[in-house]
Copies of this chain bind each other. A is one copy, B any other.
Amino acid sequence: MAIIDVTVIPIGTDTPSVSRYVADIQRILANWAEEGKITYELTPMSTLIEGELPALLEVVQEMHESPFKNGIERVATNIRIDDRRDRNNHSMKNKLASVKQQLMKLEP
């Protein structure tokens, strides 16, 4: 399983507000999640998605298409992929747990 972190920025909107486009993308993700293909989480800065890499790249393409369907003519999408294969428990939950464990070790 891989984890990706995605931002989709519509360029050429008349206002600085883009929450409407973010909301459209969240509904796309809800559909994928309902089918059990991904899990996802909205943060204040991006969307984090967990799943098999080929599925994740399909999801990215659908997210990136979304503002074009609403009349936007330019989209800047940014993706970070974190893919770890030496363990089979690489997940959003376990990554946070590892850092917390390290933090406890370090406390005096």
Number of interface residues of A (CB under 8 A): 59
Q: Which of A68-108 contact B (CB under 8 A)?
A: 68, 73-86, 91-93, 95-96, 98-99, 101-103, 105-106
Copies of this chain, tallied across the complex: 4
Footprint of B on A, CB under 8 Å? 3, 5, 7, 9, 11-20, 22-24, 26-27, 41-46, 48, 53-54, 57, 60-61, 64, 68, 73-86, 91-93, 95-96, 98-99, 101-103, 105-106
Could you list 8 further interchain pairs (A-B, Cβ under 8 angstroms) beyond the known A17-B98, A27-B106, A74-B84? A5-B45, A5-B46, A16-B74, A42-B96, A45-B48, A53-B61, A64-B83, A78-B80
